[in-house]
Homo-oligomer: A and B are copies of this chain.
Amino acid sequence: MYDRLKGFRDFYPGKMRARREAMDAVEASAAGYGFREIDTPALERMQMYVDKSGEEIADELYSFTDQGGRDVALTPELTPTVARMVVAKGQALSKPIKWYSTRKFWRYEEPQSGRNREFYQTNVDIFGSSEPASDAEVLAVTSDALRNLGLGSSDFEFRVSHRDILGGLLRSFDADVDVRAAIRAVDKSEKIDADEFHRLLRDAGLTDSQAVRFDDLLDAGENDLDELVDFAGENVQSAVENLRNVLAAAEDYGVREDCTVSLSTARGLDYYTGVVFECFDRTGDVNRAVFGGGRYDDLIESFGGQPTPAVGVAAGYSTLSLLLQRAGVWPDEELRTDYYVLSVGDVRPVALDVARDLRAKGHTVETDVSDRSFGSQMNYADSINAETVVIVGERDLEDDELTLKDMETGNQVAVPVDDFPDYERPTIEDYE
């Protein structure tokens, strides 16, 4: 017997049904806003990731040399790939470019609850607009998706931050600060204690008292944004204004209540530039970010393209499923079957005709493919949660009749073959 690789999962039909429903809800939201589906390779050149993140990224990736001598990696995220695609088409794409896709990614990390080595994400991105409306639209698509799945405002919040506010505050200290390192420290701050956080900030160039002061400033809520401008002046003024404009746009999009200003949210990746956000479980039961996104205005240019502002979100399903389960709205994992057409005797042509007619009306219809007994077929119909069983029997057919059986009530009724299926979704009530 062969074993599955660690950190990889097999999805059998029940779990897959629930997961598909979650994916469909997110995709339907994106499609409703006019985002268009794309599809992208599972393998890319390793260099693309090394250039963005340094050689050490190799430890986190599935990378290898292919038979043609190319250093390649299983894609750990979508953003570099879509940046490559935008650059490849140059000015041929009309702006704004609005894309989404749901696919797998791979990272060589230690598996834990909500984290696997192979995982699904739906990415939703807008290229070509720096307007606050585009940041807000990404928040709105995400919020609509979560609401479509049954979550409400008491279930989730978007903790919204701004990379340029963080950078501006850091640059306001009289110190030689490694801004990227300090922002990476902010990204870790929720998972470590204050001493450890301050140590990382000192490593990034702040003095001890500056680190404490910076930590205090991160507590600023949406009513304290003026204090940040008082402290850092022009270093943060336009970023604060941008954050306020994004929140105002979020208000118009109807998702302002989902947003909480939280400067200690930073996102780990270096390429973010403006507003960044993370989705959290408001109850705290899922005690880390469910997923996140943000603005990355410099990435396309750094890939050799024309300067092209961009903003997006990557919704991951491993953590999203934890949130949906916590909130009691994880989709049903039961199989659903509209009809099982049961055959008794030499009736296959009629049974298959009936099944074909029901399928033509859009129903899920199973028939016997194993030449089994009445009882065995009935058990199987039960195992697939068939709502109605259509019994096609040799003797009934002599009277030109079928029998419909409602599997919930156990009631059944005889139906003339010629009258079936006269209705869009025939039930025994239609013939009683």
Chain A residues proximal to chain B, CB less than 8 Å: 1-6, 8-13, 16-17, 19-20, 31-34, 36-45, 47-48, 59, 62, 64-68, 70, 72, 74, 80, 84-85, 87-89, 93-96, 98-99, 104, 106, 108, 118, 126, 128-129, 131, 133-134, 137, 144, 249, 252-254, 303-305, 335, 337, 348-349, 352, 356, 359, 362-371, 380, 383-384
Query: Using Cβ atoms and an 8 Å threshold, which residues of chain B touch A36?
Result: 13, 16-17, 335
B108 and A66 within 8 A (CB): yes
- Residues in B with CB closer than 8 Å to A38 are 10-13, 16
Contacting residue for A12 out of B4, B66, B85, B134, CB 8 A: B85
A93 to B13, CA, bound (A): 11
- Chain B neighbourhood of A12, CB < 8 A: 38, 85, 89, 93
Q: CA separation between A335 and B68, bound complex, in Å?
A: 37
**This protein's copies in its complex:** 2
Chain B, Cβ-Cβ closest to A376: B95
Partner of A366, one of B34, B88, B362, B371: B34
What 6 A-B pairs are tightest by C-beta distance, nearest first? A64-B64, A13-B36, A34-B366, A11-B39, A8-B41, A1-B304
With A and B bound together, what is the CA distance between A248 and B126 in angstroms?
54
- For residue A348, which residue of chain B has the nearest CB? B252
| Complex CA–CA separation, A104 to B74 (angstroms) | 13
Chain B residues lying within 8 Å of A371, measured Cβ to Cβ, are 131, 133
Residue from the list B2, B68, B363 in contact with A44, Cβ < 8 A = B2
Whether the Cβ atoms of A369 and B126 lie closer than 8 Å is yes
Looking at the assembled complex, report how far the CB atom of A76 sits from the nearest CB atom of chain B, in whole angstroms: 13
Contacts of A64 in B (CB 8 A): 62, 64-65
- Residues in B with CB closer than 8 Å to A93 are 12
Give the residue name and chain of the B residue nearest to A343 (CB).
Answer: B133
Once A45-B3, A304-B1, A352-B252 are accepted as A-B contacts, the answer to whether A37 and B16 lie under 8 Å apart by CB is: yes
Residue in contact with A13 in the complex, picked from B37, B87, B252, B384, CB distance below 8 Å? B37
Q: Measured between C-beta atoms, what is the minimum distance from A424 to chain B in Å?
A: 15
Residues in B whose Cβ lies below 8 Å from that of A47: 2
Residues on B with beta carbons closer than 8 Å to the beta carbon of A5: 41, 43-45, 66, 70, 72
| Min distance, Cβ A356 to any Cβ of chain B, angstroms | 7
Within 8 Å by CB of A74, from B42, B67, B98, B348, lies: B42
Q: How far is the CB of A116 from chain B (nearest CB, A)?
A: 10
B33-A365 in contact (CB<8A): yes
Chain B residues near A19 (CB-CB < 8 A): 39
In the complex, the answer to whether A45 meets B2 with C-beta atoms within 8 Å is yes
The residue on B at minimum CB distance from A97 is B13
- Closest Cβ of chain B: how far from A49's Cβ, in Å? 10
Q: How far, in Å, is A264 (CB) from chain B's closest CB?
A: 28
What separation, in Å, do the CA atoms of A20 and B380 have in the docked complex?
32
Q: Which of B42, B85, B364 contacts A106 (CB 8 A)?
A: B42
CB nearest to A126 among chain B residues: B369
User: Which residues from chain B contact A94 at a C-beta distance below 8 Å?
Assistant: 380, 383-384
List 29 A–B pairs whose Cβ atoms lie within 8 Å, in order of A's numbering: A1-B303, A2-B87, A5-B44, A5-B70, A9-B39, A10-B38, A10-B41, A10-B88, A12-B89, A13-B38, A16-B37, A19-B39, A20-B37, A34-B384, A42-B104, A43-B118, A62-B64, A94-B380, A94-B383, A94-B384, A96-B380, A98-B366, A129-B369, A129-B370, A131-B370, A133-B367, A134-B369, A252-B352, A254-B356
